[in-house]
Structure 1
Amino acid sequence: MNIEQLSIKYIVIEDEPFARRGLVQLLKNYNFLDCMGMYSNTDDARMIMETQDLDLIFLDIHLAEESGLEFAKQIPPSIQVIFTTAYPNYALESYDLNALDYLLKPIAEDRLKKALDKAISYFQNKAYDKQALQPTDHIFVKSDRKLFRLALDEIQYIEAMKDYVMIHSKDKKLMVAMNIKTILNKLPSMDFVRVNKSFVVNLKKIESVDNHWVTVAGFEMPLGASFKENLLMRIDKQTINR
């Protein structure tokens, strides 16, 4: 996701009116930010958190009724926090709370930009990860200086060959410069499973399994002792007992 597609919904919690308005005014310079409100206390902020999908909170540490650090402990992990404070001695505690950043007042515009660069990076990666988790029916692999679109249903098994893997499908074999762990991470875990150090199989293509061997497309491969329990558990979920 590029920055033009990014929309970060945020609120400001700051009990000093001048500082509150000043920060929001600075944030208006960034088109990817969408202000959902500014609040002087955490009680009012909680109401918007319950009704809106927020991404980011600019949170003052010294608030009249409740410490921003204590409030941060109650914020869902899906919402990121940038602390704002006049006191530098809370920096370590803020990072213990996995804050995105820690801004000292008065907030300099160049320092704010660095904090927002972190926010951009975080939410771009989050959007990418979410997209990567979406179900797909194919992958692209590079073999012999070409990109091949390979339907997941076509893959029978994958064989490790040092720094390469051989992907075996019904109609072809593709040698890919990738180790077996890397390609396994690119495949949906519900359909593909490792049966020993050198082989990954498509669960839908398994023809038979016994205590020592797995057969896929007529090819027998050893069933590793450390992989056996996981494979049998995965198969058991699909087994119909008669």
Structure 2
Amino acid sequence: MTKDKLTIKYIVIEDEPLARRGLVKLLKDYECLECMGMYSNTEDARMIMEGQQLDLVFLDIHLPEETGLEFAKLVPASIQIIFTTAYPNYALESYELNALDYLLKPIAEDRLKKAVDKVINHFQKNISEQEIVTQTDHIFVKADRKLFRLELNEIQYIEAMKDYVMIHTKNKKLMVAMNIKTICNQLPGSDFVRVNKSFVVNLNNIESVDNHWVTVAGFEMPLGASFKENLLKRIEKHTINR
């Protein structure tokens, strides 16, 4: 999802080719939706979900090998789910998984519009909340049973460690009990960007970038291939806006 112009990146997981193509064709009417791929099974879909920033999944329930309901339990909370199925009896279970909506096949255009409107409203609300967060120049984090105030310009980079992150500042390191996506949501996207699955860097503190490495405060970290294009665009935009 981008802020300057609302762009919601989605994929479709559906084992019936006609249903897959038909849904994407209907969704082309919505300029804010950008299709990142169509998949017949969850295994293939996982590859793009690991390497790209996604906002939304249109997910069939009856799939080969792994059901949509099973797959949904593993989808990060930041990615919204709309179930698509021919069976109405899974509705309750889908909402227990915090699905944004539940569409019955064949999907009527007016019903699809209601679901898309719900998606747009959800992400517009998120943008508004993030803009409130980015108006501040600091965040509070809990470490060692204390609350620490961190000035954003003091944060050099953040390292993921399973259910924790290590925040590296100019003067100290703090181990915080939250995952990397959670803390990313607290940071202004204008200054912080992921360079691979495990590291977020402060654009203001980048010393160098090449095809494979990013250096911050003398520390080299790998530049993920799927993150490289976004990083270079962000650096260019950050330089222009300064």
TM category (shorter chain) comes to: 0.5 to 0.7
CA contact (8 A) 1:7 1:32 kept: yes
Cα displacement (A) at 1:134 = 1.1
Contact 1:4–1:32 (8 Å) recurs in 2:
no
Q: 1:4 to 1:120 in 2, by over 3 A?
A: farther
> d(CA) in 1 for partners of 2:51 and 2:44?
12
CA distance in 2, matches of 1:29, 1:96: 30
Taking a change above 3 Å as real, the CA distance of residues 189 and 22 of structure 1, as seen in their structure-2 partners, is closer
Correspondence for 1:58: 58
Give the deviation of 1:64 after TM superposition. 1.4
Structure 1 residues 71-120: Cα deviation after superposition (integer angstroms, max 9, x where no partner): 00000000000000000000000000000000000000000000001101
State the distance in 1 between where 2:139 and 2:103 align: 41
Aligned-residue identity in percent: 72
Task: Check 1:189–1:15 CA distance in 2 against 1; reply closer, same or farther (3 A cut).
Answer: closer
Q: Which deviations, in whole Å up to 9, do the C-alpha atoms of 1:168-227 show, x marking residues without a partner? A: xxxxxxxxxxxxxxxxxxxx886xxxxxxxxxxxxxxxxxxxxxxxxxxxxxxxxxxxxx
Provide the rounded CA distance (Å) in 2 between the counterparts of 1:106 and 1:82: 15
- TM-score, scaled to structure 2: 0.55
Distance in structure 1 (CA, Å) of the matches to 2:139 and 2:26: 45
Name the Cα RMSD after superposition: 2.1
Specify the alignment match of 1:131 in structure 2.
Answer: 131
Q: Give the Å deviation of 1:4.
A: 8.6
- Pairing of 1:1-242 with structure 2 (within 5 A): 5-136=5-136
Structure 1 outlier segments of 4+, above 2 Å: none
Give 1:120's aligned amino acid.
I
Q: Counterpart of 1:221? A: none
CA, structure 1 residues 115+4, in 2 after alignment: closer, same or farther (shift >3 Å)? farther
Gap change, CA 1:4 and 1:133, over 3 Å in 2: closer
**What's the offset of the Cα at 1:65?**
1.4
Residue ranges of structure 1 left out of the alignment (5+ in a row): 138-187, 191-242
Q: SS of 2:11's equivalent?
A: strand
TM-score of the two chains, using structure 1 as the length reference: 0.55
Matched residues in 2 for 1:72 and 1:84: separation? 12
Distance 1:41 1:189, change over 3 A: closer
CA distance, structure 2, for counterparts of residue 4 and residue 130 of structure 1: 13
Computing the radius of gyration from Cα coordinates, the structure with the larger value is 1
Secondary structure in 2 aligned to 1:5? Answer: coil
